[in-house]
Amino acid sequence: MNFHFQSIFALATPIGRSALHLHRISGENIFEILSPYVVLPNTRKQLNLTQLAEKSQGKAHTRYVLIIDKDNNEIDDVVLTLFPAPKSYTGENIVEISVHGNPLISAKLQSLLRSIGMRDAEPGEFTQRAVLNGKIDLAQAEGINQLIHAETLGGIELARNTVEGVLSRETEEIRGQIINILAYLEAHIDFAPDEVGEYEPASLLPQIQVVLERLEKLHSTFSSGLKMREGVRVVLSGKPNAGKSSLYNSLLRYDRAIVTNIPGTTRDVLEDRLVIQNKDFVLLDTAGIRKTSDEVEKIGVERSLKSALGADVICLVIDIHELDCTQIQTHILSEVGHFCDEVRLTEDQKIILVISKQDLLSDAQLKMIQKFNDNFSIIVKDLSFKKCIYEHLILISLAENQELCKVLVEYHQVFTGAVNKKENPTLISVRQKDKVFNAISTLEECGKLISVRDYPEKIASLINHSRHSLEEIVGEIHLDNVLEKIFSTFCIGK
Ligand SMILES: Nc1nc2c(c(=O)[nH]1)N(C=O)[C@@H](CNc1ccc(C(=O)N[C@@H](CCC(=O)O)C(=O)O)cc1)CN2
Ligand SMILES: Nc1nc2c(ncn2[C@@H]2O[C@H](COP(=O)(O)OP(=O)(O)OP(=O)(O)O)[C@@H](O)[C@H]2O)c(=O)[nH]1
Ligand SMILES: [Mg+2]
């Protein structure tokens, strides 16, 4: 399928002063249209781009040239690359021109392009053409958009994975399985039982089950993908003065939060990105939790509890350095107990018990901690959320948080495990997730019709719905308004 569109151009790099500006031009006849304005720097002889494209045997070709305007005035000396169709990003002929990065020079080039019948590209229009010309599918196009907008390393990894076609291939395979199921039904719609055997829809159930499981697995990748893109949320909680803000600063490696020895120092929730071993986290520091009559601190405590509710991982920071050895175990248990009374955790949240101010602990206190850890599972066995609690206490100080970092990385793996391997397909947009959801619901509906031995026509029609939902993920069905909505979020020039 090849569409014939007006030629378009756009500045593909940011507007402003920079070393270079890269302009991108796409269209069917652009080599012919541009040739009169492209000359060799020394001889000023016109360069025939059409011939050059033919000589390059369909491959990209780069030259150093001069661009001149209609009055033969030089616009700039540039590097120009041709990508002859169909081997280009859009599948049409493409010319890329990199000029010196001055907005005035770019404006001159753009007015030349407008004056020779080309128009400014809409956001995402190059990629839209790539989709319409079958160079990439819609899921890959969404990947390209996210590759540009990703704000985390994890986001880039997921987007690259989609651009590479991992999700498209998974969708295609599931679609193949659905078509196999359809084939059985179509056979019974078109042929008599003596030709294709008795109509026994229940025989389809195992196949439908296989597809459903695969779709459900795919559906679940959206939320793990979100954690991968946005970062696993880690909240530092605990009593005032426990050392939360100190830990916050040492994890971030800069003096972000105010630290004093006055309990109740932190009031607002602080939020920052944290990367440990290339894994993305969102780290939150919060007000120490206690009963207080101070109006401002009270609001701080409320916000602190609310942050803990929304966290994936809670580091409950506990300061025991002033306690007598005999009190340590009971104290830790009661702090965890109180915290869990305040914050109703869900089963998929994790808590790490962090013992702060290691440098201030006596040998006897350290021994007690060791003893606690040796019997950890027995000691915490009566706590209501013991399944959420990391398997032992972790000691930290201003100078030492390595073990904690190691555990955070382990938890990152737990929260993103389903999607953080290169070969795993991941849903990266709500649109894709909704399509998979539709495919699942219609297939489930099928199960019901089969159990009452409904007509093959009715079952086939539902299965077809399911198949269409999958096809929409990769955009085999082009709906103008869908395309418009997707590409409107792109950058101009992409
Ligand atoms: N200068 C420049 N840099 C760029 C791009 C670009 O278009 N231009 N890209 C764009 O976003 C990205 C790279 N992606 C690209 C994807 C496909 C083709 C392309 O021309 N593909 C042809 C030919 C392949 C070949 O010669 O082997 C094809 O697929 O047929 C170019 C770039 C990032 N950097
Ligand atoms: N010696 C020592 N002192 C620490 C350590 N961590 C924190 N402190 C001190 O403990 C006091 C309280 O630290 P913060 O980090 O402000 O405690 P917080 O939990 O944020 O307190 P609030 O904001 O009031 O809830 C400060 O005086 C810190 O210098 C540590 O590892 N070793
Ligand atoms: Mg603090």
Domain ranges of the chain: 8-135, 172-290+307-475
The CA–CA distances, whole Å, from 101 to 62, 104, 418, 453 equal 19, 9, 43, 69
CA separation for the pair 370, 334 (Å, rounded): 18
Torsion angle defined by CA atoms of residues 436, 438, 444 and 447, in that order, rounded to the nearest 10 degrees: -110
CA separation for the pair 205, 200 (Å, rounded): 10
Report the DSSP pairing between strands 74-83 and 61-68.
antiparallel
pLDDT band, very low/low/confident/very high, at 4 (cuts 50, 70, 90): low
The alpha helices in 191-320, defined as continuous H runs, are 193-196, 205-230, 244-252, 295-309
| 447 φ, ψ (degrees, to nearest 5) | -50, -40
Nearest ligand for residue 317 CA = 2
Residues contacting residue 355 through CB under 8 Å, at least 6 positions apart: 318, 319, 320, 332, 361, 369, 393, 394, 395, 396
Cα 296 to averaged position of ligand 2 atoms, centre (Å) = 20
- ipTM for the whole predicted complex goes beyond 0.90: no
**In 253-386, which ranges are E strands?**
270-276, 279-285, 313-318, 350-355
HSE (side-chain half, CA atoms, 13 Å) at 460: 14
Cα 317 to averaged position of ligand 3 atoms, centre (Å) = 11
Higher pLDDT, 384 or 313: 313
Instruction: Determine whether the shortest distance from the Cβ of 266 to ligand 2 is under 6 A.
Output: yes
Cα 490 to averaged position of ligand 1 atoms, centre (Å) = 17
What are 279-316's pLDDT values in tens digits?
Answer: 999 999 999 999 999 999 999 999 999 999 999 999 99
Mean pLDDT of 61-65: 98
Cα 108 to averaged position of ligand 1 atoms, centre (Å) = 26
pLDDT of residue 477: 64
* Residue 16 near residue 42, CB atoms below 8 Å: no
* CA 297 from centre of chain: 36
Report the DSSP pairing between strands 270-276 and 350-355.
unpaired
Question: Which tokens in the block code for residue 271?
Answer: 């939020």
| 20 φ, ψ (degrees, to nearest 5) | -135, 160
The CA–CA distances, whole Å, from 280 to 13, 152, 322 equal 27, 7, 35
Instruction: Determine whether the shortest distance from the Cβ of 398 to ligand 2 is under 6 A.
Output: yes
Check pLDDT > 60 for residue 421.
Answer: yes
Instruction: Determine whether the shortest distance from the Cβ of 482 to ligand 2 is under 6 A.
Output: no
> Which of 397, 379, 398, 401 is CA-nearest to residue 389?
379
Ligand 1 binding pocket mutation candidate from 61, 80, 83, 89 (most atoms within 8 A of CB) = 89
Mean pLDDT of 23-33: 97
Nearest ligand for residue 81 CA = 1
Instruction: Determine whether the shortest distance from the Cβ of 60 to ligand 1 is under 6 A.
Output: yes
CA separation for the pair 351, 347 (Å, rounded): 11
**Amino acid present at 108:** K
Residue 141 marked as a ligand binder:
no
Ligand 1 atom with least separation from CA of 135: 29
Question: Which tokens in the block code for residue 119?
Answer: 């128009």
In angstroms, the first-to-last Cα distance of the chain is 21
CA separation for the pair 280, 301 (Å, rounded): 26
Q: What is the pTM of this model?
A: 0.86
Instruction: Determine whether the shortest distance from the Cβ of 245 to ligand 2 is under 6 A.
Output: yes
Q: Whose CA is nearest to atom 28 of ligand 1?
A: 87
Check pLDDT > 50 for residue 1.
Answer: no
Instruction: Determine whether the shortest distance from the Cβ of 277 to ligand 2 is under 6 A.
Output: no
pLDDT of residue 484: 72
Report the DSSP pairing between strands 38-39 and 61-68.
antiparallel
pLDDT of residue 364: 97
CA separation for the pair 203, 183 (Å, rounded): 13
Q: What percent of the chain has pLDDT over 70?
A: 97
Nearest ligand for residue 84 CA = 1
Check pLDDT > 70 for residue 107.
Answer: yes
Cα 97 to averaged position of ligand 1 atoms, centre (Å) = 14
pLDDT of residue 479: 58
- CATH superfamily, domain 172-290+307-475, is P-loop containing nucleotide triphosphate hydrolases (3.40.50.300)
Check pLDDT > 80 for residue 2.
Answer: no
Provide the b/e sequence for 112-127 (b: ≥16 CB within 10 Å).
bbeeeebeebebbbbb
Q: What percent of the chain has pLDDT over 90?
A: 87
Residue 171 marked as a ligand binder:
no
Least confident stretch, 48-57, 144-153, 196-205, 289-298? 196-205
Mean pLDDT of 391-415: 97
Cα 398 to averaged position of ligand 2 atoms, centre (Å) = 9
Least confident stretch, 49-58, 160-169, 192-201, 253-262? 192-201
pLDDT of residue 3: 54
- Residue 397, strand partner residues: 400
**For residue 377, what is the enclosing H or E element?**
helix 376-379
- Mean pLDDT score of the chain: 94
Nearest ligand for residue 26 CA = 1
Instruction: Determine whether the shortest distance from the Cβ of 294 to ligand 2 is under 6 A.
Output: no
pLDDT of residue 480: 62
CA separation for the pair 70, 488 (Å, rounded): 33
Mean pLDDT of 113-118: 97
CA separation for the pair 369, 355 (Å, rounded): 9
Check pLDDT > 60 for residue 160.
Answer: yes
Count helices and strands in the chain by DSSP H and E runs: 18, 13
pLDDT band, very low/low/confident/very high, at 493 (cuts 50, 70, 90): confident
**DSSP reduced 3-state for 8:** strand
Residue 362 marked as a ligand binder:
no
The CATH architecture to which 8-135 belongs is 2-Layer Sandwich (3.30)
pLDDT of residue 5: 85
CA separation for the pair 451, 208 (Å, rounded): 13
Mean pLDDT of 234-254: 98
